[in-house]
Structure 1
Amino acid sequence: NFNISVSDDKYPSVDSIVRSAVAECNSKTDGSEYAKALWLHDWLLEQLEYDKTLKWSSAESALTRELGTCQSYESAYAKLLTAAGIENSETRDTYDGHTWNAMKLDGQWYQTDCTWDDSSDNWYSFDQRHLYFGLTDELMAIAHPGHSKIYTTDTYATRSTSLADNYFVRTGDAAKWAKAYSDRIQKNLDAGKTEF
């Protein structure tokens, strides 16, 4: 292993990219942990694209190449959160081969999966990019079933049970989603479907 140092503004370092993003975040939010975590989440999704070749898997590749796997999303978001003064930890689901962030906002732990939030889906005219922001362990285990084997152990350190800083709870959009999905579920039930 070796490192190459480049002193050229066209090739900013990871640290300078992180500092710049956090400075912009601080100037554009009210400074609350929730606002900073959400702004940095959205900023990262604007920068990054999932690397389908699976070559790039670090914060460095995420922030300089703007490509990466789930490990890139997790580690880049961790660097951003840490620089913004937000306690965070990696959640590694070895059962499902995936990783995401746990973050502590207002004294409570929340699960956030930037990789799965990086979507251009637009069901029911709702932005899909916040579905996995501020979840409980129980909700995250619905998307990542292996997580249920992790968060139920005695040694699990980032137990997430609150939805107070969940995106849809904070914005009030939870009711819109519930209505949209209740109609969808009812249509499937009315059609006699038992799986959908």
Structure 2
Amino acid sequence: GIQDSWSDVQKVLYLHDYLAEYCSYDLTLENMDAYTAVVTGSTICQGYAMAMCVLCRQLGIPCYTMTSDELNHMWNVVQIDGKWYQLDVTFDDSAPDMLGHATHDYVLQSDAAMYADEHHHADDWNYFSEGKEIVCDSDLYADAFWVGAGDTLEWLDDGSYVYAVSVDPDTVRYGSDVKATICRRMPDGTVRELKTVQDTWESTTGYVYPYSYVSTQVYNDLIYYHTPDSIYAMPLNGGDTELVYSLSSEEKAKGSIFGMVIDDNGLLTYQVMPTAYYMDDTYQMDMYFGTLQLPEQTDPVTETTTTTAVTTTTTTIPTTTTAKPTTTTLPTTTAAKPTTTTLPTTTAAKPTTTTLPTTTAAKPTTTTVSTTTTAIPTTTTALLTTTATETTVTTTEAVPLAVTRPGDVNLDGEVDVIDVVLLARYVAEDPDAVIDGQGKVNADLNGSGSPDMDDAGMILRIIAKL
């Protein structure tokens, strides 16, 4: 996740790649806000832009949305070190959605660069900037190291990044020209070229693409990458490459590997597609996903007759998968621009320990009460006797509930989207959304005293590891 020590540039890069990796374009055009982007992972340009705006603001980075009626599109402007830059996650996301892929053509760009681009060339840019004048006149990052990276940046603990850069398709004349370079950008700014992968991706109809679809993932101190039909691993500093897995003949008949991701538990998912683009206006494609469980070891992954490096469990996801339209069609299918009322303008406060209820019970208090008892006289001459008795009354204050797990609203021991949905329904006064006392304490992350939608946003950050 994002580290406090990171610069604003690093944080914006991380959010850009996170949204591009997690979200896919919603062909139904029904999901169009930050909630659907972060929770469901399916949205349109409006949702991408709003999610980026909300997440940046929560990190203290000024960010607004901008639109064009002419383009029917929404994207962002962000401020870095006092300068404004344009940013468009939608057009940097792959279409159809490819695991582990994200281009970086529209990260921290100037007005001039975006105006010259076919997807952003319009004369009616409109900034939702609360009346502030926005001018993006800096080209500081025009030649940044991420320009040309075709997959998501892999962040290492030492501050370096691993990524793959494809050859410029405009320079390709023959199949042998198609290649990608796996790079590692070091903390001192130097870039090490670790390996050049020369291979071609072909559609099942025989078309050869002039672009290399190599993507990288880092797990257990190894860099994993794929070619059209195989997956390999190599050390973080390059060197000998080991074969991890090759597609079976049945899988090859379905197409080539166009992407892969590895989760925190070492489960590698690879994506096989017959073509890199949608072939018609139905925007449908048969996709196949397989999985490999990687070993928990730091030695190079190998396959021999005596050692099994990976266990292959192949699973076919539904054969017809709907993915987002290609970038050439996105602007024309995006819903109309939103109003600023749908964008949160405040950032939820970070919870502090001072707002959490304590677990120390108050000491019991003792009160002395005098009770007067009057005896009934037996005769009119009898003396009245008064007896004083002492009664001790003990009162104990209720012990406040303590947080058992921040964000665990439904008390199932996990913090996930189910907690966010339950909290959102509760705040909306859904009579069927019941949260008990402990759940309310776990939900109140901003310390306001009662669960609210700011808490829902903070739980989303926990889920996203921000």
TM-score normalised according to structure 2 size: 0.29
Q: CA deviation at 1:144?
A: 1.4
Give the corresponding residue for 1:192.
Answer: none
Give the corresponding residue for 1:57.
Answer: 32
Cα 1:47/1:173, change in 2 over 3 Å:
closer
SS in 2 for 1:89: strand
Residue in structure 1 matching 2:65, options 73, 78, 90 = 90
In the aligned structure 1, how far is the partner of 2:18 from the partner of 2:125? 29
SS in 1 for 2:168: helix
Give the corresponding residue for 1:39.
Answer: 14
Aligned pairs, number: 148
In the aligned structure 2, how far is the partner of 1:86 from the partner of 1:171? 22
1:157 counterpart = 2:133: yes
In the aligned structure 2, how far is the partner of 1:49 from the partner of 1:181? 24
Judging by fraction of residues, say which structure has more helix: 1
Cα 1:173/1:96, change in 2 over 3 Å:
closer
Q: CA deviation at 1:41?
A: 0.8
Residue in structure 1 matching 2:144, options 170, 175, 180 = 170
Q: Which consecutive unaligned segments of at least 5 residues does structure 1 have?
A: 1-23, 122-126, 185-196
In the aligned structure 2, how far is the partner of 1:138 from the partner of 1:156? 19
Amino acid of the structure 2 residue aligned with 1:26: Q
Superposed CA offset, 1:92-143 (max 9, x none): 112111000100011111000000011169xxxxx75211111111221222
Cα 1:150/1:119, change in 2 over 3 Å:
same
In the aligned structure 1, how far is the partner of 2:30 from the partner of 2:62? 28
Q: CA deviation at 1:157?
A: 2.1
CA contact 1:120–1:129 (8 Å) conserved in 2: no
SS in 2 for 1:135: coil
Q: CA deviation at 1:47?
A: 1.2
In the aligned structure 2, how far is the partner of 1:88 from the partner of 1:172? 21
Give the corresponding residue for 1:102.
Answer: 77
In the aligned structure 1, how far is the partner of 2:108 from the partner of 2:147? 14
Amino acid of the structure 1 residue aligned with 2:6: G
Amino acid of the structure 1 residue aligned with 2:138: S
Amino acid of the structure 2 residue aligned with 1:137: D
In the aligned structure 2, how far is the partner of 1:51 from the partner of 1:62? 10
Give the corresponding residue for 2:111.
Answer: 137
Structure exhibiting the larger radius of gyration computed from Cα positions: 2
Amino acid of the structure 2 residue aligned with 1:139: A
Superposed CA offset, 1:15-44 (max 9, x none): xxxxxxxxx2126xx411100100111111
Cα 1:182/1:118, change in 2 over 3 Å:
closer
Residue in structure 2 matching 1:180, options 168, 175, 178 = 168
Amino acid of the structure 1 residue aligned with 2:57: T
In the aligned structure 2, how far is the partner of 1:108 from the partner of 1:48? 28
In the aligned structure 1, how far is the partner of 2:58 from the partner of 2:141? 20
Judging by fraction of residues, say which structure has more strand: 2
In the aligned structure 2, how far is the partner of 1:149 from the partner of 1:62? 26
CA contact 1:134–1:165 (8 Å) conserved in 2: yes
Cα 1:170/1:95, change in 2 over 3 Å:
same
In the aligned structure 1, how far is the partner of 2:61 from the partner of 2:141? 14
In the aligned structure 1, how far is the partner of 2:125 from the partner of 2:67? 9
In the aligned structure 2, how far is the partner of 1:172 from the partner of 1:51? 27
SS in 2 for 1:80: helix
Q: Which consecutive unaligned segments of at least 5 residues does structure 2 have?
A: 149-164, 173-466
CA contact 1:51–1:68 (8 Å) conserved in 2: yes
CA contact 1:34–1:165 (8 Å) conserved in 2: no
Amino acid of the structure 1 residue aligned with 2:133: A
1:26 counterpart = 2:22: no
In the aligned structure 2, how far is the partner of 1:172 from the partner of 1:70? 22
